[in-house]
């Protein structure tokens, strides 16, 4: 473990600056109590970059990210840029940084903490004990395929290509099998092999890679069936691996099992230890600047960063225990509060986590 790390901080749009402020405070507390130092280098991405730099992903931002040990990202997007052409949409910056940094594996854990069972819209017996992870392929598929708009017989036509090659599928499968091997040794590969040729290749590569992991049980499920089973019987899943678009949708659905999308962290990893860490929720422009955003998904993303990129497992465990302890004590932001009148804001929730983190790291 090194004694000093450079972290690229990309607040983005909407509530992004607020929740990344909470993340930096958590890292500062970790630094204070462990002797490790963090240097923060800030960059623009998304809508704010479009406004300031004329592009959703400035070259300077990509340079900063490549020179850092890890990247913390807030959120991008908002109605201000919804009518922009594709190359000037905030989400294009998000896709671009993933591609530019070679981040092909997106990890999205969904864990139901006992104290949040009542926050879920599903029955307690359905969600109690849920502990799964969605592994999403991040740099291939329809999001990165060629896109066309043209006219045929006077009618406008749109076309998006969904392309995967064998190597792209194999590497995400190996990441998923390794994760499953460290958990409960069950991997569910999700596709649409009854319709899509890309899914048939996906399934065949999964079967081949499975030969190298005889200790892990591999099953297959069609994406529509998986979407249904996630809300019907989510505890059947341990690790889910799927392609880019399916993973985008299923991981957001899995987030709601935990009571709020504001609770779901994510890690986007490439080769080696480098990674980009962000909450799964969006920029939430309707609450931006009001101080009510839930910072916990971002704080849990910090824990993922400490574990996967910085080799600080003890600090990562302490951050996660601090979050669970704060929830167990009954503290809630509005998105997870049964009684909205007692909900606390972003700063107060962060303060409780910092207080509990000090206890965890001093023990």
Among all residues, which ones are annotated catalytic?
A: 143, 192, 224, 248, 252
Decide: 268 and 163 in contact? Cβ < 8 Å.
no
CB burial of 238-250 (b: ≥16 within 10 Å; e: otherwise) equals bbbbbbbbbbbeb
Q: How far apart are CA 338 and CA 276, in angstroms?
A: 32
Cα(340)–Cα(327) distance, integer angstroms? 15
Asked if 334 contacts 343 with a C-beta cutoff of 8 angstroms, the reply is: yes
Q: What distance in Å separates the CA atoms of residue 128 and residue 158, rounded to the nearest whole number?
A: 43
User: Read out DSSP for 110-165?
Assistant: EE--GGGGGGSSS-HHHHTT-EEEEEEE-SSGGGTS-EEEEEETTEEEEEE-----
The maximal CA–CA distance of the chain, rounded, in angstroms, is 72
């Amino acid at each position: 473990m090194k004694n000093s790390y450079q972290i690229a901080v990309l607040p983005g749009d909407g509530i992004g600056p607020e929740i990344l402020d909470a993340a930096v405070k958590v890292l500062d507390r970790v630094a204070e109590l462990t002797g490790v130092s963090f240097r923060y280098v800030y960059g623009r991405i998304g809508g704010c970059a479009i406004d300031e730099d004329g592009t959703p992903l400035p070259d300077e931002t990509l340079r900063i990210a490549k020179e850092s040990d890890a990247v913390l990202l807030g959120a991008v997007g908002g109605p201000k840029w919804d009518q922009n052409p594709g190359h000037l949409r905030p989400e294009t910056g998000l896709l671009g940084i993933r591609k530019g940094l070679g981040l092909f594996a997106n990890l999205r854990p969904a864990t139901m903490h006992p104290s949040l069972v009542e926050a879920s819209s599903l029955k307690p017996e359905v969600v109690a004990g849920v502990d799964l992870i969605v592994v999403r392929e991040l740099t291939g598929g329809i999001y990165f395929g060629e896109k066309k708009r043209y006219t045929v017989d006077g009618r406008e036509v749109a076309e998006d290509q969904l392309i995967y090659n064998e190597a792209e599928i194999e590497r995400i499968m190996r990441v998923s099998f390794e994760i499953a091997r460290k958990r409960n040794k069950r991997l569910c590969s999700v596709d649409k092999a009854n319709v899509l040729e890309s899914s048939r290749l996906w399934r065949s590569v999964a079967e081949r890679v499975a030969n190298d992991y005889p200790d892990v049980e591999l099953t297959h499920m069609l994406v529509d069936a998986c979407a249904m089973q996630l809300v019907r019987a989510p505890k059947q899943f341990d690790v889910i691996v799927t392609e880019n678009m399916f993973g985008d949708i299923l991981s957001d659905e899995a987030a709601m099992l935990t009571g709020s999308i504001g609770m779901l962290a994510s890690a986007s990893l490439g080769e080696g230890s480098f990674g980009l860490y962000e909450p799964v929720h969006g920029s939430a422009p309707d609450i931006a600047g009001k101080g009510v955003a839930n910072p916990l998904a971002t704080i849990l993303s910090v824990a993922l960063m400490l574990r996967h990129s910085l080799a600080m497992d003890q600090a990562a465990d302490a951050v996660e225990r601090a979050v669970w302890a704060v929830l167990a004590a009954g503290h809630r932001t509005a998105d997870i509060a049964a009684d909205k009148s007692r909900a606390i804001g972003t700063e107060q929730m962060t303060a409780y986590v910092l207080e509990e983190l000090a206890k965890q790291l001093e023990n």
